Amino acid sequence: MALYKVICVATLLTLLTPESHSQLECPVSSVCGKPPLNTRIVGGQVAPEGSWPWQVSLHGSAGTHFCGGSLINNEWVLTAVHCVPSANPNGLVVYLGRQSQQGSNPNEVSRTVTQIINHPNYSAVTNNNDISLLKLSSPVTFTNFIMPVCLAASDSTIYAGTGAWVTGWGNIGSGVPLPSPQNLMEVEVPIVGNRQCKCDYGINTITNNMICAGLRTGGKDSCQGDSGGPLTSKQAGRWIQEGIVSFGNGCALPNFPGVYTRVQQYQTWINSQITSNQPGFITFTSTGTDSDLNVTCPGLPPPPTTVPPTTTAKPVVCGQAPMNSRILGGSSVASAGVWPWMASLQKNGSHVCGGTLVAVDAVLSNANCFSSSPNPSEWTVILGRLKQNGSNPFEVTLKVTNITLSNLTGSNVAVLHLATPPTLSDYIQPICLENGRTVSVGTTCWAAGWSSGRGGVEQVLQELQTSVVDCGNVTTSDSICTGALTLEQGDSGGPLMCRQDWLLVPGGGVVSRKLHRSNTSKSSDGLRQSEQVLSLLVSDSGHVLISSLQQQQQHQHHSCHHHNDHQRGRSHSLLILLLLLPPLPPRPLSVSPPLLIGKPVSVNSDLHDVTGTNECKQT
């Protein structure tokens, strides 16, 4: 397939353009870059429906397609200035969820445009700054077929040779229109470095605001009618837009790659225009090496020799859940971003247990989950997940390099070390580890998990609210009690969280509990906790490592209330914020104090909003 943009007329002009920079990152309050129906293969072809849910079709007053674009949040579309040079929105219609220009589109919605914001420094002569924003007449609802794309952040690094995809309804060759029913087309093209592209088009034609893509032999490209559409690549599980179809010399000609507006150069400008529900910008470095540095041609200056700046590691921020405004009220289906430290531990691709992100490269769970298979190669950790069966636009899947199991009787602690740290966002954050503060009676706590018995067909993450209650005669310092919770298989390893800047229950230790149907008017669950569970040391690289697990004295466990002999559900144990299955005999323990990675600097006690600074310092 050949896709295009604004092509240089047959008489090639030497274009003189200034150079500039800018940046981008991924949607904070919207879904981005995770089409559930996308499974790419190489080659120009008809795109499967739903593969590119951010692709839009722009129609003018004549009612026909003339340009593409991309949805970047629920009411803004990114396109090229040359598609809408007059900035007059009258008669302009945006179609979203569209597959065919001539056939049926059951998943389609349309919006008119109320505002067009063209980049003020756009040049029709040089094609520099060919970027425009369209505001839709009303927000759209995200579906499997309508979803925003992520945007490349300003400090992203995109190496030559990186595979990227172009999509659109443009011509399939110079002067050859897309045949009926004019279904959305896709083609994979490699990124061409700017030095090589300068050699192809002329030193002054290609600026730092542009990115090129195409085969050296030609045959794959964008073409007329694709202008304004996205150039995307998949990075760390998300589709990120790196370019906007802009111009080229013909379509798919050898040694003339397509030229695109480099999205990462415009993060500041985009965010200055969209001040609320800003698009999602993601920083990434593509695989490969910068082979473009070796390219030379007459007139091309030598590549710059720069020394990378020295950077200081930022302190780990934990316990912040921007999407979380939990209030009292029992159990319900969780929303995306409410519990950003929640992890799904998967064995060979299936959910087995829950876990909790407690450091940038460490997940806490319970050892029972790994009793049959402690081999790290069989396990993956999914962060940012909401549904076990359904779309999860914010999730990342990480490999496990090591599983450290406690050898203490009754402790059942497991720490999973991640192969790479995730990029923290509103949907992925570590929780704070408690540092000896007392969780007082009345403190609101939550459990969360993906038990098979709840969450519907999609198995949406469930949240169960409770609060700390008086344990009566049980006054030992290693026990706390909460109101009753209903927990099931699949919740094992997941968190019990108490809201004091969202932290693990006191002491960071093992907590045991049994669920009972009480014959008293008030039922509560005894949460037994050790003084401390494990010591965490920060290595030179800033990674958190297990240092020691030392068993101290064991104490006799007391349940919080009398109960009858009818148990509701199974017995469970909680490990700091971990739910342990199957039932185990309650055996309290005490171990050496940890060096905590989560120490909130300031505390916000407002239960209806999670704000304030929760900066957790590494020690």
Catalytic residues: 82, 130, 227
Specify the DSSP class assigned to residue 145: S
- Cα gap 166→187, rounded to integer Å: 5
- Cα gap 560→574, rounded to integer Å: 15
Specify the DSSP class assigned to residue 254: T
Report helix, strand or coil for 266: helix
Q: How far is CA 462 from the centre of its chain?
A: 20
CB 537, CB 544: distance < 8 Å: yes
Nearest Cα to 452, choosing from 589, 350, 377? 350
324 token code pair: 């979380």
Report helix, strand or coil for 553: coil
524 token code pair: 């509560």
- Evaluate the CA torsion angle 199, 200, 204, 207 in order and state its sign: negative
348 token code pair: 């060979």
CB 563, CB 517: distance < 8 Å: yes
- Write phi, then psi, for 195 (nearest 5 degrees): -65, -45
Q: What type of residue is 390?
A: G
The DSSP bridge partners found for residue 173 are 176
Return the half-sphere exposure (C-beta side, CA atoms, 13 A cut-off) of residue 591.
29
Specify the DSSP class assigned to residue 424: P
Which contiguous run of DSSP H or E holds residue 210?
A: strand 210-213
- Cα gap 348→203, rounded to integer Å: 51
